[in-house]
Chains A and B, each alone.
Chain A
């Protein structure tokens, strides 16, 4: 960790994030207000109006929480089916130069759910599975819409907190349209152009077949005329023959346009299987830096939006501070673990000088891999520029724990804020009593119904993660997907379901969720986990928004619980870490913690 350049980049990252928060927050305030004014109005406003007219949306009509929820659910269901059918029948659709086949039902279901829920878990390899049409239409559309939905729900919750004795929390359709038209699309156009300037590709060409500069040989199993493997005399050992490789298939496609929204919308679904580790997706240190920054940009700005909307900017900054504190600690732990490397490799003299380089791009090195891994799991992004599976046990524990705390450290666009507000309400309820008043959050009394909704979210999330992990860990189908044995294999299962429920989408890559034998268990359980993690969280949150909106506001006084300042930051961090730790500590103990001690005792998995 004695790398001044890395420290400088870290400081630069946090500094730029801080600088970006207010201006982007100010812009969000206008975007998330149906009557807001932005400098894009002259260009975008006509399209906005036209959209409302075509869809029959009355933009002046706000919805109550039930109306808002129904609109969101219907929209999600329709768009899920839309994607499902495109993926199933992509072989009959245009822009498929590689003639890729339609997806199996469970893979199409898993993928459609994955993109609808902003998870972008990928049971497939992009370049070998998806046509350009599927990538651009079926998937990218969700990158925009699921991100916009997340931001809309956060805005609805913030409105619920800010309003008093109100019946409505906004109009879902208006939020969706305005967020897409004024926020996501314009930024993505600029960002995609920037990415192209860095070398990210954008074309419709079929894959390029290239002669390799230096041919090499690999051992492959010998086959007879009928294509059956040939065995040695014992009838078991396959006979291997050398095969010379002198060509390489280089995939092409409309990458830049998808990568911009993949990062900005905290989607994370890579165009290529290697995700942001692929040079066509993430070619330069600058593109890497800005991709990381774009993950946190909107979530960070939303804290400012929160402060402005509830008329307590210091509260917005306190939430930001709690997030930033957990982020910095996460990066430092992960970086430290990776920089310390693997003692067994070191003992054997095989280790890279600067730490654990297994599964990392030499272009990015230890620090930028640890930073990216922390950011992508703090947020519900899930893009990766290094293989989390190959991290040291403690280095891998950080992303896992980040996801399990609910991805509230900046978090997914919108999802991070509304997830964090769940913890804020919880913290206020538990500790708020200690000032001698029944708990209140920004003037709203937190009562039995609110606690019920908050605890419902927490119960559903832990039930889903722990339940599926327990099932998979003792099932043949579960263990069959693993790439490693022992505690590391357990971490792969735990990570997969945490990632699915948390709508993150990254994986301990050793896991094979879409096995060649067509076993649908992993795809299906993960899809169900993603649906639960998204919608059983959103619905109670919208109910909370509706309930808070209807409450009276208690005026603040010296006796009011203060949701700002250092004490509150400490309390909030404590609540997030304690609730996360208390629920998942036993699972983490059986996984990465045991693995860490075993590694130091000389065992690898």
Chain B
């Protein structure tokens, strides 16, 4: 995806947003936002005052216009946020235009149709050079696919039927071979479409915290409406006839227009920031939940350690020649295409000069692939002539031991000691056995990513606990956990254990985030509060989670949490700022309202605003302009620092609470000076 860094003031977005800001004046849209609805009604009533008010026409007109601008500015903020999201979505969407799909008919023949007509369940045929017409799952074949349109990663990836790499995304290109794909999304229902509609706001649902905040803002608005209505009789008692224009001006200044106007922009911008990092969220709720996460389940491989563990040593069992161990290890690893498997073959070659043999020649053999249940892989040779049948396995110590002992063999204590020793050093021990004989142990070294320890320390300061998920045995896991600085680990983890762990954490009140890619991760992804599926993962995994990382980078989880927190902080900061602003507005408007009848209260005009009319107008103008001034902050989000809750509260309370009290005093005074210099009232 190319449209990653859109300038905050992109010209095209600004133009569209300006037009949208006016279109959004539609009262039906304003109904969603009680604060701005009251402002709009106030503006309309003030326009009506043009014909009846005793105040100067120009003053009433200016107040009315600025009130209207307050609503338009709020609309503009929302439109800009939507515009940025749309621009990003458009770049993604462009990739899937005018695709032609080869749909397979029931009789097996193919027909060419427009990709937009594909429905869920359709089966399409894609060959090298074609673009994949829609999100789907490979049901036949394997191919290398260029997903750079989505991920920006230029190296092609393998997509094949079955297993965890079967999902394909519309708009990506097949480079080699052919695929038969079952489409899994109706047109307009793919992840991308979903994301686009979320940022466009049409189907955007308010998140739980947004709803709660809207209740607060509406209630405050209700209270201020009361305050203003009551002020009229208070004035009557005191012999002051407050004008409608002034009362409406005071009302709009008091109700929380700043946060009311920026609230939805903040929410959209949060989703947008995720999109910039190539993460698609299926709901705003998920982004909000990300901020609350306090337990991260992280897969060790790829997140904490570099993906490839390297074989570094063969430790033979007593009485076994090192070369025999190396030979067996190499044979067992020939079909193992994982980096670990390859590194075993390489180590055997380097140390014992054992060449990789062509195992397609007799004796006939079968490879035994690794499964999560057996946790072993290896090779079986059938008996040929005088050669007896051979069966070689490598794998986790416990499983190999069980395999050896099931055949009546013994598992030497020296090997057990070696396994433990390797584990304690943070290595992965792979035990190699042939039939009843335990041959020895391969030392696989795990390499912890640079800087990850510091990252976890930051998370800890934020109150987030990290749990490392690994298939390693507890000893290995403990050593790596210590080296990487995670808080806890789950060793020899199965998908069931993962799910159980998430449930246990949630029962204790924690909110859990995890990443996953395999189909067997799906239940855990669905259970987690934030489940990030890798884009390379299966369709089941993607549907179970509530976010998809297009880059398939498990470390992304940390950024997702930060974006969630940033969203919440921005919301809180602007709410605090908005409410704190009211103090200065009172000091501008109340003296102006009373000084005509009670000249004695002139000292209350602490800002020394030039005249009652200019004071009220200045407050109204400040109230409108502050929305525009805060749009960049709402879109970028308040800077987030991992300094712990107490320090963060102190800092933000000072900036947005104390600052919120002080800034409008300065702002209103400046505007008042300007108004009088220009003789606007």
**A→B interface (CB under 8 Å):** 429-439, 443, 446-448, 450-452, 455-456, 458-459, 462-463, 466-467, 469-471, 473-474, 479, 486-487, 490, 552-555, 557-562, 565, 567, 570-571, 574, 578, 581-583, 585-587, 589-590, 593-594, 597-598, 600-601, 603
Q: Is B412 located at the chain interface by the 8 A CB criterion?
A: no
> Which B residue's beta carbon lies closest to that of A577?
B583
Distance between A371 CB and nearest chain B CB, rounded to angstroms: 28
Contacting pair B600 A436 (CB below 8 A): no
> Which A residue's beta carbon lies closest to that of B229?
A470
Q: Which residues from A are CB-within-8-Å of B223?
A: 458-459, 462-463, 583
Contacting pair A561 B649 (CB below 8 A): yes
Contact with A along B193-229 (1 / 0, CB 8 A): 0000000000000001101110110011011101101
Q: Which residues from B are CB-within-8-Å of A486?
A: 238
Known: A431-B576, A594-B594, A597-B603. A553 touches B569 (CB 8 A): no
Q: Is B523 located at the chain interface by the 8 A CB criterion?
A: no
Contacting pair B572 A433 (CB below 8 A): yes
Q: Which residues from A are CB-within-8-Å of B656?
A: 434
Contact with A along B632-672 (1 / 0, CB 8 A): 00000000100011101110110011000000000000000
Contacting pair A473 B234 (CB below 8 A): yes
Q: Is B590 located at the chain interface by the 8 A CB criterion?
A: yes
Instruction: Give Cα distance in the complex from A402 to B95, angstroms.
Output: 65
Contact with A along B220-264 (1 / 0, CB 8 A): 101110110111111111101000000000100010000000000
Distance between A579 CB and nearest chain B CB, rounded to angstroms: 9
Q: Is B573 located at the chain interface by the 8 A CB criterion?
A: yes
> Which of the segments B21-29, B156-164, B287-295, B443-451 contacts the partner chain?
B287-295
Distance between B265 CB and nearest chain A CB, rounded to angstroms: 16
Q: Is B510 located at the chain interface by the 8 A CB criterion?
A: yes
Beyond A555-B508, A594-B600, 5 additional pairs, beta carbon < 8 A: A469-B230, A574-B657, A587-B234, A590-B594, A598-B600
Contact of B509 among A448, A467, A473, A554 (CB under 8 A): A554
Contact of B601 among A429, A459, A562, A593 (CB under 8 A): A593
Q: Is B519 located at the chain interface by the 8 A CB criterion?
A: no
Q: Is B299 located at the chain interface by the 8 A CB criterion?
A: no
Instruction: Give Cα distance in the complex from A448 to B215, angstroms.
Output: 7
> Which of the segments B174-182, B457-465, B622-630 contacts the partner chain?
B457-465
- Number of A-B residue pairs with CB-CB distance less than 8 Å in the complex they form: 214
Known: A438-B292, A458-B219, A552-B509. A586 touches B231 (CB 8 A): yes
Q: Which residues from A are CB-within-8-Å of B579?
A: 430, 578, 582
Instruction: Give Cα distance in the complex from A47 to B477, angstroms.
Output: 63
Instruction: Give Cα distance in the complex from A585 to B601, angstroms.
Output: 14
8 Å CB contacts to A: which residues of B583-605? 583, 586, 590, 594, 598, 600-601, 603-604
Contacting pair B226 A462 (CB below 8 A): yes
Contacting pair B230 A470 (CB below 8 A): yes
Contacting pair A555 B652 (CB below 8 A): no
Distance between B662 CB and nearest chain A CB, rounded to angstroms: 14
A-B contact pairs, 25 of them (CB 8 A): A431-B649, A431-B652, A434-B573, A434-B656, A436-B568, A437-B292, A438-B208, A438-B209, A438-B292, A459-B222, A467-B226, A469-B234, A470-B229, A470-B233, A474-B233, A552-B509, A554-B509, A557-B463, A558-B460, A559-B464, A567-B653, A586-B231, A587-B227, A590-B234, A597-B600
> Which A residue's beta carbon lies closest to that of B259?
A430
Contacting pair B219 A597 (CB below 8 A): no
Q: Which residues from A are CB-within-8-Å of B594?
A: 589-590, 594
Instruction: Give Cα distance in the complex from A565 to B645, angstroms.
Output: 13
**B→A interface (CB under 8 Å):** 208-209, 211-213, 215-216, 219-220, 222-224, 226-227, 229-238, 240, 250, 254, 288, 291-292, 294, 460-465, 508-511, 564-566, 568-569, 571-573, 575-576, 579-580, 582-583, 586, 590, 594, 598, 600-601, 603-604, 640, 644-646, 648-650, 652-653, 656-657
Q: Which residues from B are CB-within-8-Å of A558?
A: 460-463, 644-645
Instruction: Give Cα distance in the complex from A50 to B486, angstroms.
Output: 60
Distance between A122 CB and nearest chain B CB, rounded to angstroms: 25
Q: Which 10 A-B pairs have the closest CB atoms?
A: A559-B463, A433-B572, A436-B565, A557-B463, A455-B219, A601-B600, A558-B463, A466-B230, A473-B237, A434-B572
Contacting pair A434 B215 (CB below 8 A): no
Q: Which residues from A are CB-within-8-Å of B511?
A: 554
Distance between A26 CB and nearest chain B CB, rounded to angstroms: 29
Known: A470-B234, A570-B653. A432 touches B572 (CB 8 A): yes
- The B contact surface, by secondary structure, is helix
Instruction: Give Cα distance in the complex from A41 to B590, angstroms.
Output: 59
Instruction: Give Cα distance in the complex from A558 to B487, angstroms.
Output: 14
Q: Which residues from A are CB-within-8-Å of B230?
A: 466-467, 469-470, 586-587
Contacting pair A582 B653 (CB below 8 A): no
Contacting pair A430 B572 (CB below 8 A): yes
Distance between B39 CB and nearest chain A CB, rounded to angstroms: 17
Contacting pair A429 B648 (CB below 8 A): no
> Which B residue's beta carbon lies closest to that of A461?
B223
> Which B residue's beta carbon lies closest to that of A494?
B234
Known: A451-B216, A473-B236, A562-B646. A586 touches B568 (CB 8 A): no
Q: Which residues from B are CB-within-8-Å of A462?
A: 223, 226-227
Q: Which residues from A are CB-within-8-Å of B238?
A: 486-487, 490, 590, 594
Q: Which residues from B are CB-within-8-Å of A459?
A: 219, 222-223, 226
Instruction: Give Cα distance in the complex from A451 to B576, angstroms.
Output: 16
Contacting pair A553 B294 (CB below 8 A): no
> Which A residue's beta carbon lies closest to that of B572?
A433
* Best-buried of B227, B571, B656 by chain A (most CB within 10 Å): B227
Instruction: Give Cα distance in the complex from A499 to B640, angstroms.
Output: 45
Instruction: Give Cα distance in the complex from A250 to B652, angstroms.
Output: 62
Known: A430-B572, A582-B582, A597-B600. A446 touches B645 (CB 8 A): no
Contacting pair A434 B462 (CB below 8 A): no
> Which A residue's beta carbon lies closest to that of B288?
A438
Q: Which residues from B are CB-within-8-Å of A555?
A: 294, 508-510
Contacting pair A438 B590 (CB below 8 A): no
Contacting pair B234 A565 (CB below 8 A): no
Contacting pair B598 A598 (CB below 8 A): yes
> Which B residue's beta carbon lies closest to that of A565?
B646
Q: Which residues from A are CB-within-8-Å of B215?
A: 448, 451-452, 455
Contacting pair B649 A435 (CB below 8 A): yes
Instruction: Give Cα distance in the complex from A431 to B254, angstroms.
Output: 19
Contact of A447 among B208, B509, B572, B590 (CB under 8 A): B208
Contacting pair A448 B575 (CB below 8 A): no
Contacting pair B601 A597 (CB below 8 A): yes
Contacting pair A553 B583 (CB below 8 A): no
Q: Which residues from A are CB-within-8-Å of B646?
A: 562, 565, 567
> Which B residue's beta carbon lies closest to that of A426?
B216
Q: Which residues from A are CB-within-8-Å of B508?
A: 555
Instruction: Give Cα distance in the complex from A175 to B409, angstroms.
Output: 72
Instruction: Give Cα distance in the complex from A553 to B648, angstroms.
Output: 23
Instruction: Give Cα distance in the complex from A564 to B374, angstroms.
Output: 53
Contacting pair A589 B590 (CB below 8 A): yes
Known: A429-B212, A435-B645, A459-B223. A553 touches B234 (CB 8 A): no
Contacting pair B212 A490 (CB below 8 A): no
Distance between B35 CB and nearest chain A CB, rounded to angstroms: 14
Q: Which residues from B are CB-within-8-Å of A447?
A: 208-209, 212
Contacting pair B209 A430 (CB below 8 A): no
Contacting pair B231 A560 (CB below 8 A): no
Contacting pair A435 B601 (CB below 8 A): no
Instruction: Give Cα distance in the complex from A431 to B580, angstroms.
Output: 12
> Which B residue's beta carbon lies closest to that of A446?
B212
Distance between B107 CB and nearest chain A CB, rounded to angstroms: 55
* Best-buried of A431, A552, A558, A578 by chain B (most CB within 10 Å): A558
Known: A429-B216, A431-B657, A597-B604. A471 touches B233 (CB 8 A): yes
Instruction: Give Cα distance in the complex from A508 to B179, angstroms.
Output: 87
* Best-buried of A473, A571, A597 by chain B (most CB within 10 Å): A597
> Which A residue's beta carbon lies closest to that of B508?
A555
Contacting pair B649 A433 (CB below 8 A): no
Contact of A436 among B250, B462, B576 (CB under 8 A): B462
